[in-house]
Amino acid sequence: MSENQNAKDDGLLSPNQRDLLDLVRRNQPVRRSDLTEMTNLTQQSVHRLVASLEDLGLVSVEPSTSSRPGKPSPNLSLNAKARASLGILVNTDSVAICIVGFDCAPRAFKRLSIDVSIRESALDLIRNEVVALLEQEQIPYESLCGLGFTLPGYFVEDHIAFNAPEPLRDWSLVDFRPELEAAFGVPVFLENSATAGAIGETLGPLGAKYRDFVYLGFDYGFGGSIIINGNAHLGRAGNAGELSSIFMGEEARRRPALRFLIDHLARNGIAVLGVDDLRRNFDPAWPGVEDWIAETMPQLNRLVVGLTGVVDPEAIVFGGQIAPQLAEILISRVRFPESYRYGAPPPLPDLVPGSVSDDPAASGVALLPLKYTYFR
């Protein structure tokens, strides 16, 4: 496997170059003259920085037509094929692979149903699938700038070792980053799946509408992430938003983790193969669904109301691997207090289902190498 051919610029871009790239990303196509107005840089500095980014192949410069007096300022866009970024999500019963281009848009996606209980053999299978997917989509391996990798669970060390659900025991409490770097030959960025899903939403339609939101990650377990001004608040060890921690004792078994919905369905004769199968084939008429909702809603409702008071977000996003129809049902059952002093309630957040297609955690974690290497 060849070394990353982009070593000449990975991690070496100046803060001003990264600021301009991020402005282009959020506003493309954007006139070069408009970038001067968006920053505190001089026109000469912007011209010089744009030229350096064009030399690196990171931006495309096209002539623009303008009714303004004088010579039209060119339009700038990110060169989508300049770099690619790889994201891998290992769930309890499936694997999702996402490849995004330099414009942060998905270029390829694949979901695998494989046994992930043994880390070494699972990584061999995943690497082979990544190579095949890159070849299929004609994406040069050398264009990969990094790998974003995610699991459900929380960190027990500072962004190093995960404590993942029981089916992922072999992935837990160990630093497997060197194994990933050896297998894929690119820099590796780790994140838990709820935060990865939230990051994916920041660059989608919800991120364009809301700069501050709380992301609820409904997976085999249950977690979350807090987005402030468009960025994930990670906390000391990367566990900010680990919302399951507020449920203790017997209440922990009534938290909104999808593993417990699968248990309810099994007791009612509905065989679900796993969380991925639940998402794809969910039927609200299944016996056991209403029982689970009735058991779960008191905890979920208290959490939503509490987050509203503590975080004061613009929105609370019902995301993760939850089926969209189930998310809508839970949203419809949330109740805020009906009585407020002087009859004047505070502004309440919008409650919305996740918007990212395919798997938000896989697409979100695929963006991490781009975000931490090239953008802000």
| pLDDT tens track for 280-309 | 899 999 999 999 999 999 999 999 999 999
- DSSP conformation letters of 35-102: HHHHSS--HHHHHHHHHHHHHTT-EEEE-----SSSSPPPEEEE-TTS-EEEEEEE-SS-EEEEEEET
Average pLDDT value for residue range 180-193: 95
Q: What's residue 94's pLDDT?
A: 87
Angle among Cα 206, 28, 96 to the nearest 5 degrees reads 50
Q: What's residue 1's pLDDT?
A: 31
Average pLDDT value for residue range 149-173: 90
> Residue 3 pLDDT more than 50?
no
Q: What is the pLDDT of residues 38-59, one digit of tens each?
A: 988 899 999 999 999 999 999 9
Range list for CATH 3.30.420.40 in the chain: 84-199+361-373, 205-354
> Residue 238 pLDDT more than 70?
yes
From first CA to last CA, the distance across the chain in angstroms is 29
Average pLDDT value for residue range 16-30: 90
Residue 325: band (very low, low, confident or very high) from pLDDT cuts 50, 70, 90:
very high
Average pLDDT of the chain to the nearest whole number: 90
Q: What's residue 239's pLDDT?
A: 87
Average pLDDT value for residue range 323-346: 94
Tokens found for residue 183: 């297998």
Beta strand residue intervals within the chain, DSSP E: 30-31, 59-62, 75-78, 84-90, 95-101, 106-112, 144-151, 154-155, 162-163, 188-192, 213-218, 222-228, 231-233, 315-320, 350-353
Q: What's residue 93's pLDDT?
A: 83
The span from the CA of 63 to the CA of 41, in Å, is 22
Which of these CATH numbers, 3.20.10.10, 3.50.90.10, 3.80.10.10, 3.30.420.40, describes 205-354?
3.30.420.40
Which of these CATH numbers, 3.20.20.80, 3.20.20.140, 3.30.420.40, 1.25.40.10, describes 84-199+361-373?
3.30.420.40
Average pLDDT value for residue range 180-207: 90
Residues 237/257/166/235 CA torsion (nearest 10 deg): 0
Residue 67: band (very low, low, confident or very high) from pLDDT cuts 50, 70, 90:
low
Q: What percent of the chain has pLDDT over 90?
A: 67
Range list for CATH 1.10.10.10 in the chain: 15-78
The span from the CA of 283 to the CA of 109, in Å, is 25
Q: What's residue 66's pLDDT?
A: 61
15-78 domain in CATH 1.10.10.10?
yes
